[in-house]
Amino acid sequence: MTTVISVKFKEGGRAYYFNPDGKKYSVGDKVIVETSAGNAFGFVSKANHEVSEDSIVGELKKVLRSANDKDLNRIKENEAKQKDAFAICEKKIAEHGLDMKLVEVEYSFDGAKITFFFTADGRVDFRELVKDLAASFHTRIELRQIGVRDEARMLGGIGICGQPYCCKRFLDDFQPVSIKMAKEQGLSLNPTKISGSCGRLMCCLKYEQNSYEHLLSITPGVGSVVKIPEGTGTVVDCNLITGNLLVKPDNSEGSPFKVHRSAVKLISRPKKKKKDDDEQVIE
């Protein structure tokens, strides 16, 4: 086991392991760390803890020190420069007539590199733009094309649930999401109702899927035959969350009645249909 701390470089970003070098750090502490691209500023997202060596990818870099006032002032200066760089880059993009949308600008901690994040429908030949930007800023320039989900994470916003975007708040990685998940969760298949602001299927479909799979395994679905006090019956409707079933008794003209899944015994489930295209992972 190895003692590490988890550090993030921006809100909603991925956490990385660093060697605390024998020092104690608390959540929220601002630190300067060593990275393959040079020194960087970040904040502690998880204090000193132990992880297995197998979970560490590559070389474990060190925490150099806690951030001081000088470091914090440099961060503020970089943030001010980023706003100016954004305006200049947008102007240059228009001058070159490039079909791309600038999303964010990021200065490295030491100011030796500026990264411009953008979205575009296809490949963009930005070689002349890079030369133009390098001549304007006299530093290393990197243009990085990102997807619409990354754009949503960077810009942030409020989802249809009324909460800030999950990708901005706590999701470290984007996971594949499929229409099948929406079907199993009993959601409308209307794209406008199951898609996030980025236009892709909502991320919450993925991290709620395990719970729904468990509920599906213990809840007789529609068409299932179950044993009830009156004999047997067929499930005509079910609510996975509450566990309530609507069961129509067999060999009876009585109306379907409500019963909890814990009060019935499963006899058989309906045969599964072959997978169709909308069950495939699409993202």
pLDDT of residue 135: 94
pLDDT of residue 197: 87
Element (H, E) at 280: none
pLDDT along the chain (283 residues), means of 10: 90 86 92 90 93 85 93 94 95 94 94 94 92 94 92 88 86 85 88 89 88 93 90 92 92 84 92 55 46
Three-class SS string for 194-240?
HECCCCCECCHHHHCHHHHHHHHHHCCCCCCEEEECCEEEEEEEECC
Q: How far apart are CA 130 and CA 99, in angstroms?
A: 15
Contact indicator for 12, 167 with CB cutoff of 8 Å = yes
CB burial of 219-256 (b: ≥16 within 10 Å; e: otherwise) equals: bbeeebbbebeeebbbbeebebeeeebbbebeeeeeee
CATH 2.30.30.30-classified regions of the chain: 219-268
pLDDT of residue 252: 72
Residues 6 or more apart from 251 whose CB is under 8 A from it? 231
pLDDT of residue 283: 47
Q: What is the pLDDT of residues 168-207, one digit of tens each?
A: 888 777 888 999 999 888 888 888 889 988 889 998 888 8
pLDDT of residue 218: 93
pTM over 0.95: no
**CATH number for the domain formed by residue range(s) 219-268:** 2.30.30.30
Fold of the CATH domain 72-146: GMP Synthetase; Chain A, domain 3 (3.30.300)
Contact indicator for 282, 179 with CB cutoff of 8 Å = yes
pLDDT of residue 280: 44
CATH 3.30.300-classified regions of the chain: 72-146
